[in-house]
Chains A and B, each alone.
Chain A
Amino acid sequence: MGVRVGERAGAALSWLTSMEWEAPGILLHAEPFGEGDALASVLTEAQGRHRGLARGGASRRQAALWQPGNLLHLRWLGRLADQLGSFSGELIHTGAAPVLDEPLLLAMLSAACAVAEGALPERAPHPRVFAGLLRLIAELPRGAAMLAAQVRWEATLLAELGYGLDLSCCALSGARDGLAFVSPRSGRAVSEAAAGVWRARLLPLPGFLLDEEAPAGPADWRDGLRLTGHFLARDAFGQQHRPLPLARLSLYQRVAESTKE
């Protein structure tokens, strides 16, 4: 009898103590905690955005590992599911190092990580957002052309959070062709022909959001960032009474300034 009770208690205890998972994850943010540890926030496919203590994460040995944008093989372990828990990680792909010397690419990486960190709720899986961010970071070294992919990823993130843009047809006329604007209130597309006197109030819709193959330049990237930035600020961050992250604002500013040159 005593053995059975012990077994049951052991089983219950093992359930309590087996709070762990292993998965690839993208590091979004790590801030020093104590002398050598770091509080890390990662994005994984199945666990969503997840925080944990990376022991030694701020130490000289591990500082290169816990950099935003790095893809890590993570192991999270906590005594209870709702505890902060702790991470250990191994590098799979370095997303940060290839772009450190490129101001625009570094700004893109920082902005993407900051948006994911600020907009996504904790421990809610968003596989499409994870897959999109993974692809974006992997292809960042291709250069400024990846700004279109970044805007598309932000649109995906908005859709996943329930604030998706409706770019299927014109909100006013129902037309499917000639879509050139988005209503800043409804997030629905408006055609060039139907824009009329409201044109100045509408947000320009860059062609690459309708057709991935459409050619795009700095002005299109700027318009795209302005478009998703408006809805991120109003909905994803506004609902939390938080401003758009500084890194995202800096990216828009950098791209907008490049269109003036």
Chain B
Amino acid sequence: MGGPEIERLIAELARLPGFGPRAARRAALRLLRQPQARLMPLIAALRDAADAVRPCARCGNLDSVDPCTLCADPRRDQGLVCVVEGVGDLWALERAGVHHGLYHVLGGTLSALSGVGPEDLNAAPLLARVAAGEVREVILALPATVDGATTAHWLTDRLRPHGIAISRVAHGMPMGGALDALDDGTLAAALRARQAV
């Protein structure tokens, strides 16, 4: 088809989420047709990101400064920490603009069968922050799955002795959700978490 450089470019693009070989070929073609307008800026952006972006030592967020801009923002509530599984979850909460405290990215959830144990999670910095008395409340915003709930209970067991408030995000009806479209588990959770009006 082309030289080995093109094959390599397609192979690397095909490894990205959302890309298959077909989409990778299309993307490669678009990049190679307009090298100055598309390819060179992408190369520069990739190089800059690779050089500068690092996980924040305090919360695990990805940023080009350490501590990250969220941790360093004095307008944020420093005593309120929201624990999330991944950076994608942090970005989702930031897009919604509903959390004005800090974050902690665990980098995964416990899974006995997949071999993910406590030592594989980025939990130690969070426990250190709590032990240092910097945290007033921890919000557990972990997935409503068996692994997510197991991780939440594990964290709760370790946070409780510090006497801080621990809460978790509610499970139940999504915005715009119709009852007949919900699965049984979500319906059950929604009914259990009903509120007086």
B184 within 8 A of A: yes
B197 within 8 A of A: no
A67 within 8 A of B: yes
Residue in B112, B157, B171, B184 whose Cβ sees the most chain A Cβ within 10 Å = B112
* Contact B112–A94 (Cβ < 8 Å): no
CA distance A114 to B111 in the complex (A): 10
- Give the residues in chain A near B150, CB-CB below 8 Å: 106-107, 110
A-contacting 9-mer, from B51-59, B72-80, B141-149: B141-149
CA distance A109 to B18 in the complex (A): 34
A91 within 8 A of B: yes
CA distance A69 to B145 in the complex (A): 11
Contact with B along A84-128 (1 / 0, CB 8 A): 000000010110111011010011011001100110000000000
27-61 of chain B: CB within 8 A of chain A? none
104-163 of chain B: CB within 8 A of chain A? 111-114, 117, 143-146, 149-150, 153, 156-157
Q: How far is the CB of A6 from chain B (nearest CB, A)?
A: 35
* Contact A250–B185 (Cβ < 8 Å): no
CA distance A64 to B149 in the complex (A): 13
CA distance A246 to B114 in the complex (A): 10
Kindly state the interface size class of chain A when it binds its partner: 20 to 34
Name the CB-closest residue of A to B186: A64
Name the CB-closest residue of B to A70: B185
A207 within 8 A of B: no
Kindly state the interface size class of chain B when it binds its partner: 20 to 34
A175 within 8 A of B: no
- Give the residues in chain A near B185, CB-CB below 8 Å: 64, 67, 94, 96-98
Known: A97-B189, A106-B150, A106-B153. A35 touches B113 (CB 8 A): no
- Give the residues in chain A near B17, CB-CB below 8 Å: 35
B180 within 8 A of A: no
CA distance A98 to B190 in the complex (A): 11
Residue in A68, A91, A113 whose Cβ sees the most chain B Cβ within 10 Å = A68
- Give the residues in chain B near A31, CB-CB below 8 Å: 111, 113-114
- Give the residues in chain B near A67, CB-CB below 8 Å: 145-146, 185
* Contact B153–A103 (Cβ < 8 Å): yes
Known: A29-B113, A31-B114. A91 touches B183 (CB 8 A): yes
- Give the residues in chain A near B189, CB-CB below 8 Å: 97, 100
A48 within 8 A of B: no
CA distance A106 to B112 in the complex (A): 13
Known: A106-B149, A106-B153, A114-B112. A246 touches B117 (CB 8 A): yes
A169 within 8 A of B: no
CA distance A67 to B149 in the complex (A): 12
CA distance A167 to B136 in the complex (A): 53
Residue in B18, B150, B157, B189 whose Cβ sees the most chain A Cβ within 10 Å = B150
Ranked 3 nearest A-B pairs via Cβ: A97-B185, A247-B112, A246-B112
A/B interface sample: 8 pairs, CB < 8 A: A69-B146, A96-B146, A101-B192, A109-B146, A110-B150, A113-B113, A114-B113, A246-B117
Which residues on A are within 8 Å of B, measured CB to CB? 29, 31, 35, 63-65, 67-69, 91, 93-94, 96-98, 100-101, 103, 106-107, 109-110, 113-114, 117-118, 245-247, 250
Which residues on B are within 8 Å of A, measured CB to CB? 17-18, 111-114, 117, 143-146, 149-150, 153, 156-157, 171, 183-186, 188-189, 192
